[in-house]
Amino acid sequence: MATSLVEQPILKMSAPDLRGDLDLTVEETRRLLELAIDLKRNASAYATALQGRSLSLLFEKPSLRTRLTFELAIQQLGGYAVSSIGMIGDREPLKDVARNLDRWTQGIVARVFSQETIEGLAQWSRVPVINALSDLYHPCQALADVQTVLERFGHFEGLKLAYIGDGNNMAHSLLLTAGRLGMHVAIAAPNGYGPNPDVLSAAANAGVQYTLTSDPAEAANGAHVVYTDVWASMGQETEAEERKRVFAGFQVDDVLMAQTARNAIFLHCLPAKRGQEVTDSVMESAQSAIFDQAENRLHAQKALLLMLLR
């Protein structure tokens, strides 16, 4: 029988918040993944690890996976969550919202339109703030993604991750998380839709090996992981038709997957627009690990909560 890590000291994050991927060091990320895998195998051993702790969930954007997995994560660790949907700071200043919540709950999870909102919450709150998605980063999703890669391959070094599509928050977090763990990240995006230059600079300073191209086939060639996201994210609805035209050659299909490594897997942060950024045949193929990936949101976030709140 596997031995649980629950009786061992859990590494405390050096940063007080998870505002973005760089708030976790490489060693902390590796320890978090080790803990997440143990939580997945031995969930009952952690059932009271955060007993009596509470978590505020603030959502400016609708959510299926993020909201449910954070609610379940804190509940399965013995705590509970309270949630609110709406524009943060609309009715009262952000600094007042943060200083109310830190009197009542032991952590704040926020899914927001702007990274500035995350930074403001972290500035004014005395309890940990977790970025559950902003326009710049999606660190919790990236943690689940690399957990899925680790489960499939057993290592990161020497693996190539091909990201096909918009150089958005998901591309940023994969660069900073998968890249710092030792994967080569190849991003194929149309000209003018690449990653934020400041994020690319941060990745380079962190030693990330990456390739930028406008050719999906070049990125996918020999890749062990192929990743894509929707072409128009929430808040970009007015650009949807134009983006369909621009990204028309960036669909992940069977032809593109045939250029990858023999044991390659396909990942998508979901929800997917089947028939746009990815075909239904790829989503339903034996190479698709999208539901393992979605499940791992729960386990990776449980590990994160333990490292921040325990």
Active site residue 269: yes
Residue 284 makes CB contacts below 8 A (sequence gap 6+) with none
Respond yes or no: is residue 76 known to be catalytic: no
What is the rounded CA–CA span in Å between residue 209 and residue 206?
9
Q: Which among 67, 138, 180, 184 is annotated as catalytic?
A: 138
Choice among 229, 243, 251, 268 that is catalytic: 229
Catalytic residue flag (residue 138): yes
198, two tokens: 């400041």
**253 assigned to active site:** no
Q: Which of 141, 147, 276, 301 is catalytic?
A: 141
Amino acid at site 246: V
Exactly one of 269, 293, 299, 301 is catalytic; which is it? 269
Burial class (CB in 10 A: 0-12, 13-18, 19+), 295: middle
> Which stretches of the chain are DSSP H helices?
26-41, 65-76, 94-104, 115-124, 139-153, 169-177, 197-205, 216-220, 240-246, 254-257, 280-283, 290-309
- Angle at which helix 197-205 crosses helix 169-177, to 10 degrees, equals 10
Pairing mode of beta strands 80-85, 129-131: unpaired
Residue with tokens 């045939």: 258
Catalytic, 111? Answer: yes
299 an active-site residue? no
Q: Looking at 111, 180, 184, 299, which residue is catalytic?
A: 111
Q: Which residues are catalytic?
A: 111, 138, 141, 229, 269, 297
